[in-house]
Structure 1
């Protein structure tokens, strides 16, 4: 639990760093605001059309009794909307980091300079950051679905679905979210997604300590605009901590 508490403190510390440097907060909030508007529009559209979409994917229930048909389609609609929220949360982070790559590289550089552990100068063009961020973001979203879809289905199991499943869903989301949040400082050291997973696997509770408050707060509409840069700075701190003493750190 000590590592988990350390991860939470790094999230809070990220807020403190940005409050002392409003310019960095603004730089980080701009791409987050653009992405939030786009995804919020998508979520609103999905909510408006959710009944039609549920009916579209359950044609087998068309001839059922009205009560059973509405129940199945109601459950299906909740599952679709819940899955979309999880994917939207992870997709929001991936797309924000891809769109705002140069912005977040600048923030990472400033934070790591203050930490005294910046890597050797790297040549990361905006195009490369966008491509790497988008590619890895899509991979992480796809992999997260392998865990979140079964959990969303299990959410309809009485008692377990209302107690255990939400906790597991939050932790799974937190893990994948942290993998995205540490991307830029890892890219600056030439670490790809595979090596990033290996790095955090040894400090899993540290990663969950950062990702849990970030996941919970990012789920609040529009709060993500501020939470995203805060969580990103926390990700720089987590990456810096996890890299200490690792082979990747010795190469930087």
Structure 2
């Protein structure tokens, strides 16, 4: 029962973030630009991947040159390559957006969660660390997501249980990404942030899973990004590290 309450509370923090962004239209517009840039980058990359998917399939399957059904097989491989790229785009959208918009979202997070005793660092000093942390988080995501991708081909389980597990994993690590700004401003290192989120797993899932589902829709991801950053700051302030 407590886990369910914590999950619902996590969902509520995203709703609070959306409310904050709606009341502060200037900050909402301010936070749209990095997400829009990231979306354009991914759209161009996916178009290039889609137009070259069959060529990549040929490169990846030289062993199939003598097969009578090689063309059909390579079409399937090309589709799998494109779907893999699409999945990777969904998984990395937040990390790229936060990297592009580091100075934007630092200011937005500070506006939501002001800490008078904290000296704000210039964005060019915090950017390398943020990129490193994002790459580490991406490594963890792929560690789970790659096996889940192949398990998805198992009949019945692959279409029912595996998507639920995949959504939970993606939602948790999305919370890891989004709460980084507010936790870093409290002086919390990556290991400390992970430990806090693992200890508050239900709230982290309640916050991250709905956002992950929203981010599956590209234009919704752009619109929701400022609300997600604001909600993460509120989550950290009220639940995860209120006294740090």
TM-score, normalised via structure 2 length: 0.91
Pair 1:19–1:83, CA change in 2 (3 A):
same
C-alpha separation in 1, matches of 2:75 and 2:155 = 16
Contact 1:79 1:153 in 2 (8 A): no
SS at match of 2:219: coil
Partner residue of 1:242 out of 230, 234, 240: 240
Q: Deviations over 1:30-74 (max 9, x none)?
A: 1111111111111222122222222322222222231xx456435
C-alpha separation in 2, matches of 1:72 and 1:209 = 40
How far residue 86 of structure 1 moved from its aligned partner, in angstroms, is 3.0
Contact 1:82 1:152 in 2 (8 A): no
Higher RCO by CA contacts (8 Å cutoff, separation 6 or greater)? 2
**2:87 is matched with which residue?**
86
* Residues 178-189 of structure 1: pairs in structure 2 closer than 5 A: 178-189=175-186
**2:163 is matched with which residue?**
166
Pair 1:188–1:75, CA change in 2 (3 A):
same
Pair 1:205–1:216, CA change in 2 (3 A):
same
In the alignment, structure 1 residue 100 sits paired with structure 2 residue 97: no
Q: Which runs of 4+ in 1 moved over 4 A?
A: none
**1:46 is matched with which residue?**
49
Q: Deviations over 1:215-238 (max 9, x none)?
A: 111121222111111111111122
Unaligned runs of 5+ in 2: none
C-alpha separation in 1, matches of 2:61 and 2:18 = 45
SS at match of 2:113: helix
Contact 1:86 1:173 in 2 (8 A): no
SS at match of 2:119: coil
Alpha-carbon RMSD: 1.7
How far residue 99 of structure 1 moved from its aligned partner, in angstroms, is 1.8
Q: Deviations over 1:163-216 (max 9, x none)?
A: 111111111111111100001001101212221111100011111111111111
Pair 1:59–1:223, CA change in 2 (3 A):
same
Partner residue of 2:31 out of 28, 32, 54: 28
C-alpha separation in 2, matches of 1:71 and 1:178 = 40
Aligned length: 240
TM-score, normalised via structure 1 length: 0.88
In the alignment, structure 1 residue 57 sits paired with structure 2 residue 57: no
In the alignment, structure 1 residue 197 sits paired with structure 2 residue 194: yes
Pair 1:137–1:156, CA change in 2 (3 A):
same
